Structure 1
Amino acid sequence: MSPDWISALGNLMTGLAAIVAGWAGVRGLNAWRTEMVGRRKTELAEEVLAGFYRARDILAWARFPASHEADDGEDDRPGAGAEDEELERSEIFTPVDRLTKESQVFSELRASRYRFMAYFGEEAAQPFEEIQAIHSEVIDSAHNLIRTYGQEPTGPEEARRNQWEATIGWGEGDGDTLRKRLDLAVKAIEQTCRPLIDERHKTRHNGAV
């Protein structure tokens, strides 16, 4: 074999080696990117699911009546009626006060919504809208009750007032439709997030064995 052929063959082998190395590098890079995307999705799923659990508990606490004490008799003290009215107004506004104190939780949840949509799609992000709707309904209902306080509702107005009271947690008990909506929203986000979280924990466990 002539020196020229030997040189050409050497160049060919070098080129093939470079191609193989480049192909392996691209595959490695793609695998790394896939792993990073998967890790980010899982971390976001953990963050969002934890946020939904916190939001659920805060909304449940916000709607918990401020006072369960019953007055067995009339209070004949001078000014007692005015004090009772002020107390009732305060109890009506309690959900707003509690939600305001925990506003950071809902702000963080709203901020994560668009990242969640980017990874999981708009349909999977529907529970975010439900949580926001429930949050707004509680606040709006409390404001409406304060605004109409002292008025004698009749007909449709009485039905609306009953609905506002139910929304802030007064009197529905086992038939609490808002609580059911809240639980369904959390369950829906769990169906998206939980498989990723469980898979990550399973992988970590297997890697540690």
Structure 2
Amino acid sequence: MTLSAEWVTAAGTAMAGLATLIAGWAAVRGVDAWRSEIVGRRKAELAEDVLAQFCHARDVLIWARLPDRPLAPAPDGDDPDERHRSHASPIERLTQESALFSELQASRYRFMAYFGEDAANPFEQMRAIHGEVMSAAEALIRDPNEQASDADRDRWEDAIGWVDDGDDALARRLAETIAAVEHVCRPLIADQRPRLGKMKA
């Protein structure tokens, strides 16, 4: 049986159409893979930047809460000016690094866009810790004659770092905040680095 010219032409057209369809499908798959690679890279870069910001903020808060006071009282009694400087020290130190905390909070919404609303929790915790240190220092400055209750003053002094390491609840919260960010960021950073190495190779 001999195929007519029409059948041959139709078969050729069908094969050409199938080839075009396959090529189009491959192109779409290629674009999807490229898009996925770009998004993955952006997520990893954002994760690395945000984790670095959190670690920097942690170190600043640790520094801000280092007690700026003598280890023992002066022989002639407590110096009000020295006490005032000690209470003001956390505010001065945190104010010096105010740009860092502003940049950290500015990253919050980009982070949420990639990682979901729950990813905002560490940002809220960091802002709360920063606010507690500032508020406690301000409260101590406003109470130079120690008219506030012992419980209030103890709470304020704990917040600015005048507390034994074993009893430092704020330091534990800070460590938990960093751990929460690392839980999100480190797997992405670790996953992206081998890919970048292959691309360079």
> Take 1:111 and 1:163, find their aligned partners in 2: how far apart are those partners?
30
Pick from 28, 44, 49: which aligns with 1:47? 49
| Superposed displacement of residue 49, structure 1 | 0.8
Tell me the SS of whatever aligns to 2:19. Answer: helix
Where does the alignment leave 5 or more consecutive residues of structure 2 unmatched? none
- 8 Å CA contact retained: 2:122, 2:178: yes
> Take 2:108 and 2:197, find their aligned partners in 1: how far apart are those partners?
30
Where does the alignment leave 5 or more consecutive residues of structure 1 unmatched? 76-80
Tell me the SS of whatever aligns to 2:47. Answer: helix
TM-score, normalised to structure 2, is 0.90
| Superposed displacement of residue 188, structure 1 | 1.1
1:133 aligns with 2:132: no
| Superposed displacement of residue 4, structure 1 | 2.6
| Superposed displacement of residue 33, structure 1 | 1.1
2:9 maps to a residue whose letter is S
Computed over aligned residues only, the root mean square deviation of the Cα atoms, in angstroms, reads 2.0
Tell me the SS of whatever aligns to 1:199. Answer: helix
| Superposed displacement of residue 174, structure 1 | 2.4
> Take 1:194 and 1:68, find their aligned partners in 2: how far apart are those partners?
40
> Take 1:45 and 1:179, find their aligned partners in 2: how far apart are those partners?
23
Alignment of 1:189-204 (within 5 A): 189-204=181-196
Tell me the SS of whatever aligns to 2:107. Answer: helix
Pick from 135, 138, 149: which aligns with 2:144? 149
Alignment deviations for residues 148-186 of structure 1 (CA, whole Å, 9 cap, x no partner): 221433xxx220111001101113332111001000110
Q: Give percent identity, aligned residues only.
A: 48
- Counterpart in the other structure of 2:97: 102
- Counterpart in the other structure of 1:60: 62
| Residues 130-139 or 144-153, more deviating | 144-153
> Take 1:68 and 1:204, find their aligned partners in 2: how far apart are those partners?
51
- 8 Å CA contact retained: 2:69, 2:82: no
| Residues 167-176 or 16-25, more deviating | 167-176
| Residues 104-113 or 66-75, more deviating | 66-75
Pick from 145, 149, 154: which aligns with 1:162? 154
Give structure 1 regions of 4+ aligned residues with deviation exceeding 3 angstroms.
Answer: 67-72, 202-209
> Take 1:124 and 1:148, find their aligned partners in 2: how far apart are those partners?
38
| Residues 138-147 or 112-121, more deviating | 112-121
Pick from 178, 186, 192: which aligns with 1:186? 178
1:171 aligns with 2:163: yes
> Take 1:74 and 1:203, find their aligned partners in 2: how far apart are those partners?
65
- Counterpart in the other structure of 2:7: 5
> Take 1:22 and 1:208, find their aligned partners in 2: how far apart are those partners?
29
1:152 maps to a residue whose letter is Q
2:38 maps to a residue whose letter is M
> Take 1:151 and 1:59, find their aligned partners in 2: how far apart are those partners?
25
Structure 1 72/148 Cα, relative in aligned 2: closer, same or farther at 3 Å?
closer
> Take 1:31 and 1:204, find their aligned partners in 2: how far apart are those partners?
15
| Superposed displacement of residue 69, structure 1 | 5.2
1:56 maps to a residue whose letter is R
Pick from 110, 113, 119: which aligns with 2:108? 113
1:189 maps to a residue whose letter is V
Alignment deviations for residues 45-85 of structure 1 (CA, whole Å, 9 cap, x no partner): 1111111100100000011122335454217xxxxx8xx32
